[in-house]
Structure 1
Amino acid sequence: MGHIGQDKPAVSCVGCFAWGQLPGRFCRACYTYGQLNALGVCLICRRDIPVHDGHCRLCRAQASWAVKAAGATGEAAALAIFLRGVKHQQLFFANLQRPRNGGPPVGKQGRRVRKRAADVEPVRLHSPWVQPRLTEAPQNFSRFARHRRDLANPTLDQARRRAGAIGEAHGWTRWVAREVDRALVILLSGHQTGDKISYSQMSDGLRHFGLTIKRTAEILDQLDLLEDDRVPVFESWLSQRLDGLADGIRRDVEDWLRTLRDGGPRSQPRQQGTAMKYLTEIRPVLLDWSERLDHLREVTRTDILAVRDQLEGSKRHHTLSVLRSLFRHCKKQGTIFRDPTARIRVGRQDYRVLLPLEPHEVRAAVDAATTPAARLALALAAVHAARPKAVRELQLDDVDLGNRRLVLAGRARPLDDLTRPAVLAWLDYRRQRWPNTANPHLIVSQHTAMDTRPVSGVWITEALRGQTATLERLRMDRQLEEALTHGPDPLHLAEVFGLDEKTAIRYANSARQILERPLESDPATSPRTQGSTPRQHDDGPAGSH
C-alpha cells in the first residue's frame, strides 16, 4: 500500500478493504487498476469499483489462482467458466493473495506444474508434548520394509550425522559406512522421543539383514538410545563356576570375588581377569571342602597344611596366596572367627634353570609366521625381547625409521637390520589393506582397523600357537642369550631390557649355571662344538677346550 503522509486519517479502500492512509476511495493497486479499466459494478462482489469485463481485480485474481491450482489449461476459457460459476462475495486480507506455503503462485510465476496429491510430502508438526506408552511391546526389526522408512525423522538424522563423523575419524570403508547407515534407518525410522532400543532386539533384527551390530551399538550408545540388556560375562561365569559349592562356602566366596573386582571401603579394585583366575586356582579345593563342610569357619589349619603338601612349586605358592586372601577377607567381614592360613609359610620357591631354545624350534616358529604381522611380532620378541602386550600397544609414533629408533614399553632401542625390513613390509601391507584407517597402533587387524583399539592378545599370538617357540618363549630366550653372551650380570640385564631386580637375578643365575656346568660329567648328552677334535696331551686333562 502507498504511504501518503502522517497528517491524513486512515480509511478503508473501497476495492480491497485494505486499511491505511489513502488519498481517496481507493488504494494504490486499485487506483492503478482503475486507470486501465472503467468504473462499474462487479458481477460477483457487486462493488462499485474499477472492473474489467464485468469483474473487479480481486475476483479475477481469485479465479486465476483457482484455475492454476486445478491444473487447467487455456487460462481465458477456464477463467470465464470459473467466473460464471461463482455467486458469492470474495473477501481478502492483506498479503494473502499469493500465500508462500498454501499453493502455486498466480501470474507468470504460477506456470510450474503442480505436484499430485500422492507426491506431496505431509507436513510434520513437532510438539514438545509426548504421549507415554500404554504397554512395552517388543519391537521386531527383522520385519522392516523399505516403504516404511522415514528419512525425515529427527533422531535418525542426528544418528546419521554422528555416524558420518565417527566413520570419517576412524577411517571406515564405504561398505562399513553403508551398513551402519542402513542399520540406523531400520532402527530409527519410527523412533519416538524418549524411546530406547534394547540390545537383544537390535542384534536380532540386524543379524537378520546381515548388518554390523557392534558399530551400530556404538552410535546408539553415544546418543543415549541403547538399553544394554545383556547379562554381564562375569555374572554368567560366576554362577557357573560356583555351582557345586556348599551354600555357606558359596556365599563367602562370591562376596570375596565381588570385592576383588569392585573394591571395598579399604581395598582397591582388581581387574576382572584377576578375580576369575583366583577362583579357577582354588575351585578344586573348595569343591573338596564342600563335600564334608558347610561353611568356611569349619576349615582348620590341618586342612590348609594338607592342601600345601599336595602341591609343589609355583602352583603351591599361588594357591596358598589365594587362600590367604580369601580367609583374610572373611575375617575382616566377620564371617569366620579365626584365620586358618595365619603363620603358614610357603617357603622359598626354587626356580628351575632356564634353558635356551633349540635351533629347530626357532626355525619352526619362523616357518609358522607367514603373515607380515606375525613376522613383525616374532622379530620384536626374538630381537628386542618384547612382551606380547608391548607388541600390541606399539604405536606408529614409536617407530622412527629415519633415525632407526624404536620405543618399546617406554624404552628407546636401536632399530636393527632384522627388525627394520619386517617393519617396512608390515607398513606396506597396512597401507595397501587399510589406507584410510585412523588407528594409531602399529599393528591392526580387520576388526581394529575401523576404530582405535589395539589388537587382542589372542590374535597376536595365534600364528605361533602350538609351537614350542611362542612369543613368550622367544622373549625369554633372547634375555637368556644376552646373559650368556655378555656374562651373568643382573645390572646389565636390567639396564638393557628394563627387568625387575628379581627377574634379572633369576636370568643371571640360570646363565651362570649353564656356563659353569661341567661338560665332562655327561659327555653323551652334552652339546659339543662341531669341528675337528683337538689333540690331547699326556700331561693335560682330558675334555673339550
Structure 2
Amino acid sequence: MCLKWSVLHGRRICPGCERWKYDHPQRGVCPRCRHEAHLGRDGFCKPCLQAIRAEDDAEWALRVPGVRPRALQLTVGSYRHYAIRARPIVESQSSERWVSAAWKTKLNRQHAVEQDHSALLEPQMWGQLPLFTMARTLTRDTGRALATRPLSGWDRAEAVLLELTARWGMGRDWRSQVTEMVRIALALREADGVELTCEQLLRSLPRLGDVVCEVLLGAGLVVSGSALELRLASRSCGDCGAWMAEGTSAGFLCDPCREWRRCRHYQPGQCARCGRDGLALGAGHCRACHPYRTDGQTMLVGQQLAIDLPARPDGPNHAPPTGAPVPDPADTPASTLGPGQEELFTMRRDWSPVLARLSGLALADVPLSEAATALVEDFAELRRDLTETGLRKNVRTLTFLVYWLGVANAVHERDIYDLAQLDGHLAAKPVCQFLRTRGLLIDDPALHRDRDLVWLERVLATLPPDVADEVRAWADVLRTQGPRQDEPRSWESIRSYLTHLRPVLTAWTQAGMTSLREATADHLQDALDALDGAARRQLAITLRSLFRVLKREKLVFRDLARGLPVGDLTGIPRPVPSDVLAGLLDRATTAFARLAIALAAVHAVPASEIRTALAADLNLARGTLVLRRGMRRHTLYLEEFTHRLAADWLTYRHRRWPTSVNPHLLVTQKTALDPDHPAVGRITMQLNLVLPKGQTLDKLRQDRILDEAFATGDPLKLMRLFGITEDTAMRYVTTAYPERTAKLPR
C-alpha cells in the first residue's frame, strides 16, 4: 500500500497501513497520487499525507496554481510515523477553508532559498574528482543568475573576448550574449573543480558554444592539443562529420567547413545528396557531398569518413577534383595501411576480386615487398619436406595474403580460411600454423571448436526447443558439467550415443512431441521393437542413460527406461581364415603398415591404441611398449619379429622426417610436421594398410585373442597377456569351449 521496505512477517501490507485502514474505512480517489485508497480527514491517502509532511510540500498544501506534487520516495522507516498522527493540514472554520500559517511560513522560506543563487553551480574544491556525474540543463536564466557572481578566470576571458570583438567587427549585443555564455562556462569549470575544462562540456551550453570554445582556448582555460603529439579527440565536425585533431581547430567546426561557411555566406538549406538540413550549400550540395558530384548528377554512394589534418607544408588540403576517376578497390592492396594501425570496422573480406586478379599470375610475378619475400622464403624452407603439390598450395596461399595484407600487421585466421575456400589449389591450416609461430595470426575461436560438439549443436538446432534443452542437459552431465560428478565422456562418445538416438527423437517430434516429459513406455518399446541385434542394444543403452539423467536432474517425472532390457551381445568372435593371414605381411610394403599389422595380429592391440601410442613409451633396449588406457598402463613385451619391425619403422621415420617432434609413434606425411601434433586419423590408417576386403585391425585382434583362448582356455592368462577385462576374457573362453560354461539341466 505505502511501498515501504519493511519486514512484513508474512503480511501483505505493513502494520501501519493496517492501522490506517482500520481508522479510515472511507475509500476514494486521492487528489495527489490519483489512486483509489483509504482517505484520511484531509482527503489524502497515507503515503501522500506522509510525503506532504515529511518533505515539507508547502506548495501542494497551499494549492498553489500550476504546481505539481513532489514525487513519492521509497522509504524505510517505522510504522508509527509522526506524519499520520499530526494535526490535519486543512482545518475548517465555518464554511471557509483555512490552512495553518506554518505552511505559509515554509513556502516563504522555500521561495527565499530559490532566490538565493549561491547554490546554483556551487564551486567545489579544486582538483577533487566527482563521485557522481549528472547531465546539467543550462538556460539563459542560468546566465542571468550568474551575472553578479565573481568567477575565476573571467579577467583573462574578458580580454580575449574584447580582442575577438574588435577583430571580427562585432557589436555590443553579440558581445553581451557571448559574455553570458562564457560566464556559464566558467561557472561549470568551478562547479567541476578543474583548472582546465574539456571541450565536451561546452556542448551543453544553450548557444554560441563554438565562440565560447574560441574564447576559452585563447585564455588558456580549455584542454588543448599537445605540441609533441597529434592526438584524435572524441569530437567531430558539426557539418561534415570529420574527426578533428586537438590543436588544429577551435570549436565544433573544422577549418575547411568554417571557410566554406564564410565563402558561401552561410545560406542554410537542405543538401540534395545526404538530405541534411541547415548546412551551407554550394550548387545544392554541402561541403562534404560537393566533391562527389559528377556532371551535375548525384552519386548514390556513401560518404567516406574523413580526418581533419593540418595543412600540408606546400599548401592547404584541397578537395579532389570534380569528375576524377575513382580507383578500383582491387587495384590498391590493403597493405598500404600504416603499421600498427587498428581497424575501425571489422568485416569479412570478399576475396573473389583479389583472387580473380592474381590467379592468372605466376608466383614469381606477384609484386611483394622485401619483408614479404623473406617471409615466404622462410615458409618454403620450413616446408621443404612436403611434396611439390602440397608445397605449392601453401606457398601460393601465403603469397596472396602477404601481397594484399602485408606483413606489418597480424592477419585474421578467418581471412585465410575464406581465401582457401575459393580455390582448391590453396591451403589454410599450414599457413595459419606458420603465422601463429611468428606472432602474425589473430586466432578465431569459432574455428577451434571440437567438431563433434559442432555436430551436436547442429543436430540440436533441428529439434524443438524443450527437447533440445533436455538433450543438452543430458550431454552436459555426461561431460561432468552437472551438479554431480560422474565418469567424464568425450564429445566423440556423446556423438556416438546421439547417433543412435537421433532417428527416434526425429520420429517423436514429427509426431507432435514437444518435450520428453510427454514420452511414455509405449514410445520406448515401439522404438526398440523396430530394431534388432547390436542396433537395438545400443539404442536401449542410450535411452537408459538419457532418462536416468533427466530423472536425476528433475526434468522428467519418472525414469521410463529404468527396467528396459538391454540384453547381451549375441555375436561371437569369428576367426580370420588362415589363407588371408598367410600373405598379409607380404602385401604390406611400408614399415608403417607392417608394424601396425604386427601390433594388431600378434599382440592384439586395438586400432585406436595403435594410432595414439607414443614414441616415448617404446623402449627398444628393454623390448617393451607401454599402452596408456586411461589411468591404467599395459606393458607389451615385444618378441624378436615385432622388435625388428619397430626398429625399422623408427629408422625410416628419423631418415624421412628428421625434424619431426610429433610425440606419436606412428606418423604420416601430414602429421609428422604438423605443429598441432595430431594422431593418425582412422581413414588414413585404413588407406596406409593394404588389408583384404572385409578385414580390419580389430578383426585381426579378435582372431589373436580367440587363438590364444583355444590354446589355453584360461581367462586369467588372457587378462594378463592382452590387458582385457574379465567379461571380455570369459566371452572368448566361452566361444572357444562352450561346453565348459554350459549350464547343466536340473
Q: Answer yes or no: same fold by TM over 0.5.
A: yes
- Alignment partner, residue 281 of structure 1: 500
Matched with 1:491 is: 716
Farther off after superposition, 431-440 or 275-284: 431-440
Q: For residue 522 of structure 2, what is the aligned residue in structure 1?
A: 302
Q: SS state of the match for residue 450, structure 1?
A: coil
Supply the distance in 1 between the matched residues of 2:516 and 2:424 (Cα, whole angstroms): 52
Deviations 1:28-63 (A, max 9, x none): xxxxxxxxxxxxxxxxxxxxxxxxxxxxxxxxxxxx
The percentage of aligned residue pairs carrying the same residue is: 29
Tell me: CA distance 1:204–1:286, structure 2 relative to 1, closer, same or farther (3 Å).
Answer: same
Does 2:531 match 1:316?
A: no
Does 2:538 align with 1:327?
Answer: no
Report the Cα offset of residue 215 of structure 1.
Answer: 1.6
Query: Secondary structure at 1:413's aligned position in 2?
Result: strand
Higher relative contact order (CA 8 A, sep 6+): 1
Which amino acid in structure 1 is aligned with residue 536 of structure 2? Answer: R
Q: Which aligned pairs between 1:5-154 and structure 2 lie closer than 5 A?
A: 130=341, 132-133=343-344, 136=347, 138=349, 140=351, 142=355, 143=357, 148-152=367-371
- Equivalent pairs counted in the alignment come to 386
Take 2:569 and 2:396, find their aligned partners in 1: how far apart are those partners? 61
Other-structure match for 1:227: 444
- Aligned partner of 1:414 in structure 2 is 637
Once the two structures are TM-superposed, the CA of residue 194 in structure 1 deviates from its matched residue by: 6.8
Q: Give the equivalent residue in structure 1 for 2:431.
A: 216
| Cα pair 2:627 2:634 within 8 Å, conserved | yes
Deviation digits for residues 487-527 of structure 1 (CA, Å, limit 9, x no counterpart): x222111111111122222222222227899xxxxxxxxxx
Cα distance in 2, alignment partners of residues 514 and 461 from structure 1? 38
Residue aligning to 1:66 = none
Measure how far apart 1:382 and its partner are.
Answer: 0.8
Q: What per-residue deviation string (whole Å, max 9, x for no partner) do you get for residues 199-245 of structure 1? A: 25445259759454212112334535233555964466346645775
How many Å apart are 1:381 and its aligned residue?
0.8
Aligned partner letter, 1:300: T
Change beyond 3 A, Cα 1:192–1:163: closer
For 2:518 and 2:652, the matched residues in 1 are separated by 62
Correspondence 1:459-478 to 2 at 5 A: 459-462=684-687, 463=689, 467-478=693-704
Amino acid at match of 2:430: R
Aligned-partner SS, 1:281: helix
1:196–1:227 Cα contact (<8 Å) kept: no
5+ residue gaps, structure 2, are 1-336
Moved more, 427-436 or 178-187: 178-187
TM norm structure 1: 0.58
Amino acid of the residue matched to residue 556 of structure 2? I
Q: Which residue of 2 aligns with 1:197?
A: 412
Q: 1:158-177 maps to which residues of 2 (within 5 A)? A: 167=382
Note the C-alpha offset of 1:373: 1.7
C-alpha distance in structure 2 between counterparts of 1:356 and 1:433, whole Å: 37
Q: What is the CA–CA distance in structure 2 between the aligned matches of 1:516 and 1:286, rounded to whole Å? A: 40
Deviations 1:372-396 (A, max 9, x none): 3222211111111111122223344
| SS of corresponding position for 1:264 | coil
State the 1:138 CA deviation. 1.9
How far the C-alpha of 1:434 sits from its partner, in A, is 3.2
User: How far 1:334 moved relative to its partner?
Assistant: 4.2
Alignment deviations for residues 310-345 of structure 1 (CA, whole Å, 9 cap, x no partner): 545544343222112222343345443233223x14
- The aligned residue for residue 389 of structure 1 is 608
> Is residue 578 of structure 2 the alignment partner of residue 359 of structure 1?
yes
Residue number in structure 1 paired with 2:332: none
Partner residue in 1 for 2:664: 441
* Deviation string, structure 1 residues 387-413 (Cα, Å, up to 9, x no partner): 112222334444444544444444443
Aligned ranges 1:234-245 → 2 under 5 Å: 234=452, 237-238=455-456, 241=459, 245=463
Residue number among 504, 507, 524 corresponding to 2:732 in the alignment: 507
Q: Deviations over 1:137-167 (max 9, x none)?
A: 72636356866533447xx98x7899699x4
Q: Secondary structure at the match of 1:418?
A: helix
The amino acid across from 2:576 in the alignment is L
Q: Which residue of 1 aligns with 2:401?
A: 187
Please list the CA deviations of residues 271-321 of structure 1 after superposition, one character each: whole Å capped at 9, or x if unmatched: 111121111112232233234342311211233234445545544343222
TM-score of the superposition, structure 2-length normalised?
A: 0.44
Matched, 1:374 2:593: yes
On the 8 A contact 1:172/1:436 being kept in 2, the answer is no
- Counterpart CA distance in 2 for 1:209 and 1:284 is 35
Q: CA–CA distance in 2 between the matches of 1:149 and 1:316?
A: 62
CA contact (8 A) 1:382 1:475 kept: yes
Q: 2:482 aligns with which of 264, 267, 273?
A: 264
User: Which residue of 330, 338, 347 corresponds with 2:558?
Assistant: 338
Matches of 1:315 and 1:137, distance apart in 2:
45
- Check 1:263–1:172 CA distance in 2 against 1; reply closer, same or farther (3 A cut): farther
Letter in 2 for 1:138: R
**2:693 aligned counterpart, secondary structure:** coil
Give the superposition deviation at 1:183.
Answer: 4.6
Counterpart of 1:215, as a letter, is P
Cα RMSD after superposing both structures: 4.2
